Structure 1
Amino acid sequence: MVIFVNWKDLLENRNRLFWLAHTVGWFGFAFVHYLGSLQLDLRDIFVIIIFLNAYAGWLLTAPLRYIYRKAWNLPPIKIALVVILTSYFTGVLWQIVKNINYWEIYKHGYQPEFWYMYTQSTLGSFYIILSWSGLYFGSKYYQMLEIEKQNVLKANAVAHQAQLKMLRYQLNPHFLFNTLNAISTLILIEENKIANTMVTKLSEFLRYSLDKDPMKKVTLESEIQALQLYLSIEKVRFEDRLDLNFKVSDNCQHALVPSMILQPLAENAIKHAIAVQEQGGSITIVVNRFADDLLIEVADNGPGADIIEGNLHRESGVGLVNTRERLQALYNGKFSLVVAHNQPSGVKVNLRLPFQVS
């Protein structure tokens, strides 16, 4: 019969872990003293005394755990006092037992002339019990630190997820307002077929934005499809004033990117490049791979803007700020987001991400 030990459950169960460490420790004590006895000219019966002494130590120190639990929340000075007194008292009892074992078994029932001789060599036993107490408090403090560490890590993970979700769900209300306004206008002029198409595309886009987990990445192909869905809605608004160009390398289709990472960049271009020009303009999305990096460029041919320290001076929303914070949270600095002037006019945003595939 094979017995499988679930070490993870054992280590997480503090009660089981104590008894395991307690037993192994005293067994180790007995084994060390046994090895020491081999160097001396002692009879074989001395082995019985060694293990009886270890067993007595195991029994006498077990209650200390419950005493120290009661004293755990006391001031440090009182804890030290409790440990010293308890260890000394336990050491005296243990030494008495050891002396009795030695005299009764090895000395054939020898009895000392004075009763206080039962407590001789107590100091050595006191040091051993004090060491046991120190190990108990040390391991307990270590466990507390590990629990605190795990709690901090869990709290950071929860905060990290909340931050990513908050950033991902910051859809610009202007987009939703403009889209609904465009649908309302189409209904008023009885363009019901176009209005229905726009409602369908809007619902598909919102479903995509809500269904995708912000903690997970999606394929670039899926992200481009969502971006095309978003831009097709805007295309209804701007008609021929919006020209779209996609240049995506075939070897990048299955690369992983954060979901909804391109939509804020495209929305930024529409707001500041397309909507402000009577003749409209164009948006170009270019994706390539260079070595172990995925390179994405979103460019427009609008009137341009002032760029100060890599940020658009014109921006009053959360588009680029949102994108940069999400990338920092997901890639921990292993990315770049560069804003530059497009030629001959406009603005371009370049992303460099680690090339990853599922």
Structure 2
Amino acid sequence: MSRQRQFWLLQTGAWLAYGLETFLSEIGYGRPLSMWRLNLYDALCGFLLTLAIRAVLKATWSHPPAERLRWGVIALVVASVVGGYAWWLALSNFCTECKPPKTWLGYLSYFFGWLQLLVAWTGAYVGIKLARQLQHEKETALQATAMAHQAQLRMLRYQLNPHFLFNTLNAISTLVLDGRAQQANGMVGALSGFLRYSLDSDPEQKVSLDQEIGSIQRYLAIEQVRFGDRLQVGILITPPAGEAMVPSLILQPLIENAVKFGISKREEAGRIEIIARVDDDVLEIVLRDNGPGSLNYRPERTDGQGVGLANTRERLRVLYGERQHFEISRLQPQGTEVRLQFPFEPATEADADAHPNPDRRR
């Protein structure tokens, strides 16, 4: 059942029950059966007034708490005044036995009677809405955790791919045979650091952008042995972007796409650029390549490709909601640009202790 349908069922049922309860109370005190019209009018007024209060609450729900409280109080006071006036009109027209109050205190009681009733309804409405919002946030957190685990598993599967390992180890062996021991040692360090980062990374936690870029550099160092001069890399991280906390492994699928569908399709030298900056508390990460084919790697494909991009897009949506932006565009004369934007969260000392740089471990 949809939430809208649930609301209307609860709203209608609650005010019908209120009207029935007041009618039975009047009968119990010996009032005539004709009082049903007054009780029905009373319930209808409550039904309409609470709809007006709901409209105010919905319109200001995303506002700061103080502003929401202010508008809520105003709505309750206005609705109580209208309710008190409507009740006075009802007594004057529907109840011949009823006498008007002798003092202004009687009229004031109409206002406070409605205020008490409307505050109770508002408390129940806000309580239910907050409970649903909390449940939604829990479900969102669980979904984000599950997606992060899936991203880590996909990365590990790629790292342990026999072709990837074979190409890497074969390149190391070639360097050793050629007497290039220093380069071979560097390759071993890059491979071990790359594998260690993925094994040590907790997909439920965030890491600093510097750490994420460090893993990307190790991956690209391995690929540069395969492509040689055909792969050129440019990285520009403008302070304080390097300190930003980002979802773990968020850039790996994008880099893999750039290498597989961009650089590998070129016969001449190809270039990958990573640019990160902070502007007005928003972290922007741009990844570009000058290859001809990476844009064909579409997230909507269902043939097993496009999973990495779709996962990246969905992880950002789940973690940041409407505060994020993910865009893929074609460059001229050729190339692809991927742009990510989400709130800037600076790393703290606790974050650094929880996610130490694997390159510094010995």
TM-score norm. by structure 1 comes to 0.52
Matched AA of 1:181: F
**What's the offset of the Cα at 1:277?**
1.5
What do the CA deviations read for 1:229-270 (whole angstroms, capped 9, x no partner)? Answer: 111111111111100001111221211111111111111000
Q: Aligned-pair distance for 1:153?
A: 7.7
Larger displacement relative to structure 2 (176-185 or 292-301): 176-185
Residue 108 of structure 1 is matched in structure 2 by none
3-state SS in 2 of match to 1:169: helix
Deviation at 1:148, TM superposition (A): 12
Paired AA for residue 258 in structure 1: P
* 1:195/1:355 CA distance change after superposition, 3 Å: same
Give the structure 2 partner of residue 249 of structure 1.
238
Using the alignment, how far apart are the partners of 1:148 and 1:313 within structure 2?
Answer: 33
* Residues 245 and 315 of structure 1: CA distance in aligned 2, closer, same or farther (over 3 Å): farther
C-alpha distance 176-197 of structure 1, shift in aligned 2 (>3 A):
farther
Q: What is the SS of the residue equivalent to 2:322?
A: coil
The SS at the match of 1:296 is strand
Aligned residue among 260, 272, 287 for 2:276:
287
* Overall identity of the aligned pairs, in %: 39
- Of 308, 312, 331 in structure 2, the residue corresponding to residue 323 of structure 1 is 312
1:337 is aligned to 2:321? no
CA RMSD, 1 decimal:
3.4
Q: Which residue of 1 aligns with 2:147?
A: 163
Report the counterpart of residue 123 of structure 2 in structure 1: none
Match of 2:254? 265
| Residue type at the aligned position of 1:191 | V
Query: How far is the alpha carbon of 1:305 from its aligned partner?
Result: 5.4
1:158-307 → structure 2 map (5 Å cutoff): 158=142, 160-171=144-155, 173-174=157-158, 176-177=160-161, 178-186=163-171, 189=174, 191=176, 193=181, 194-304=183-293
- Contact persistence 1:273–1:280 (CA under 8 A): no
Is the partner of 1:352 in helix, strand or coil?
Answer: strand
The CA distance in 2 between the partners of 1:300 and 1:221, in whole Å, is 21
Shift, 1:282, TM fit? 0.4
User: How many residues are matched?
Assistant: 213
Q: Following the alignment from structure 1 to structure 2, what is the Cα–Cα distance between the partners of residues 196 and 227? A: 18
Query: Is the contact between residue 151 and residue 249 of structure 2 (CA under 8 Å) also seen in structure 1?
Result: no
SS, match of residue 171 in structure 1: helix
Alignment check: 8 A CA contact 2:260 2:294 kept? no
- Following the alignment from structure 1 to structure 2, what is the Cα–Cα distance between the partners of residues 186 and 309? 31
Gaps of 5+ in 1: 1-146
**Which amino acid is the alignment partner of residue 185 of structure 1?**
N
Contact conserved, 2:147 with 2:311, CA < 8 A, in 1? no
Q: In structure 1, give the amino acid aligned to 2:337.
A: K
SS of the residue 2:262 aligns to: helix
Deviation at 1:225, TM superposition (A): 1.2
Gaps of at least 5 residues in structure 2 are 1-130, 348-362
Structure 1 Cα separation of the partners of residues 294 and 201 of structure 2: 33
Counterpart secondary structure, 1:316: coil
Distance 1:226 1:265 in 2: 13
Matches of 2:188 and 2:262, distance apart in 1: 25
Q: CA deviation at 1:349?
A: 0.1
Q: CA deviation at 1:155?
A: 7.2
Alignment of 1:72-151 (within 5 A): none
Structure whose alpha-carbon radius of gyration is higher: 1
Q: Letter of the aligned partner of 2:247 in structure 1? A: P
How far apart, CA to CA, are the structure 1 residues paired with 2:132 and 2:189?
49
Matches of 2:343 and 2:234 in 1, distance apart?
A: 24
Instruction: Supply the distance in 1 between the matched residues of 2:277 and 2:137 (Cα, whole angstroms).
Output: 36
Residue deviations 1:285-324, cap 9 Å, x none? Answer: 1111121211110000011455699868999242211111
